[in-house]
Amino acid sequence: MSAPLRLIVNPLAGGGRAGRALEPVRSELNRLGLAHRLAETRDLSHARALAREAADAGELAVAFGGDGLIGAVADALRGTEGVMAVLPGGRGNDFVRALGIPLDPVDACAVLASGQPRALDLGEVGGRAFIGIASCGFDSDANRIANQARLIRGNLVYAYGALRALTHWRTATFTVAIDGGRPRTVSGYTVAAANSRSYGGGMQLAPAADLDDGQLDVVIIHELPRARFLMLMPTVFTGTHVNQPVVEVVRARTIEIAASRPFQVYADGDPIADLPARISVLPGAMRVVVPAAAPEPAPWSGATSPAQTATDAR
């Protein structure tokens, strides 16, 4: 990329990972001959403002932090001529994983030098865009606990949040309407709308989700005994949970969700809206620098098709 870089960084991201890597990253950018200037963020609103300033100045907005920061920059630039790039600096770095960008931020600088812009989809809920997966229910509790944890570092915090949430979980009833269809009621753990494949540092909730197919992969985890849910949790890291009859996956452009008790919708690691909510896909709404030879999406691992009909656990 020939445009100068605006390095938008949260130095506290990933327990300070981005801050510790900042000088090595800047040294690597200099070595690669990439003109850049540093802009440290105060919060996500400030990150959005910095991204818009970069676009107005003809700069490449480089989000150096976690998925929350990346989502904020993408939200600010959606539907504009602005282009963004990403460097991994958070705990989960799921968007970086999806694009095939190295997880070491110094190694990832090479993508800024040789990568190409590509139009990718965004999700939207409550007027705000997200890059990865918007989910609610059990995921709301697990995300809240993970975000409040202070002693556990790295992406293990997400597994910790899930285990803690499970100890107090009560099955919820959700009302779901897909693509404007007739609402239906389901009882279970989670309803999610996935623009990308993973969250929580590599948990493949929607292994067939594609960032440029103009659709969301809607994942519903139906009611099942708590002990069986605990056994199901490790399979999310391989994406094989979608083969279970209690897991339903359908493709959609919009989904409307309500629930029997209050839940916040979390996306990119942060609360983004309250239920009831309408989640939509925004096809090709962001332009992101990706590796010149970006990896193809992983093939669907199910037995027959991406859509699976769920039945209640016995």
Task: Tell me the per-residue pLDDT of 63-92, one tens digit each, with 9 for 90 and over.
Answer: 999 999 999 999 999 989 999 999 999 888
Residues 123-156: tens digit of each pLDDT:
999 999 999 999 999 999 999 998 887 766 666 7
The secondary structure of 273-314 as a DSSP string is EESSEEEEEEEEEEEEEE-TTPPPPPPP-SSS-S-B------
* Delimiting residues of CATH 2.60.200.40 domain(s) in the chain: 129-284
Q: Look at the pTM and tell me if it is higher than 0.85.
A: yes
CB 113 within 8 A of CB 304: no
User: Which pLDDT does position 308 carry in this prediction?
Assistant: 35
Q: In the predicted model, is pLDDT for residue 270 greater than 60?
A: yes
Two tokens, residue 244: 């279970």
Tell me how far the alpha carbon of residue 5 is from its chain's centroid.
Answer: 23
Rounded CA gap, 5 and 29, in Å?
A: 10
User: Which pLDDT does position 294 carry in this prediction?
Assistant: 52
CATH fold label, 129-284? Tumour Suppressor Smad4 (2.60.200)
* Delimiting residues of CATH 3.40.50.10330 domain(s) in the chain: 5-114
Confidence bin at 300 (pLDDT 50/70/90): very low
Q: What number is the average pLDDT over the span 249-266?
A: 97
C-beta atoms surrounding 201 within 10 Å: 20
Rounded CA gap, 19 and 25, in Å?
A: 10
The CATH number that domain 5-114 falls under is: 3.40.50.10330
Residues 211-236: tens digit of each pLDDT:
999 999 999 999 999 999 999 999 99
Give SS3 for 48.
helix
Among 112, 139, 135, 130, which Cα is nearest to 292's?
Answer: 112
User: Which pLDDT does position 269 carry in this prediction?
Assistant: 86
Q: Which residues contact 184 (CB under 8 A, 6 or more apart)?
A: 175, 176, 177
Q: What is the DSSP letter of 200?
A: T
User: Which pLDDT does position 310 carry in this prediction?
Assistant: 33
Q: In the predicted model, is pLDDT for residue 314 greater than 60?
A: no
Question: How far is the CA of 212 from the CAs of 77, 80, 216, 284, 296, in angstroms?
Answer: 17, 17, 10, 7, 11
Q: What number is the average pLDDT over the span 188-194?
A: 97
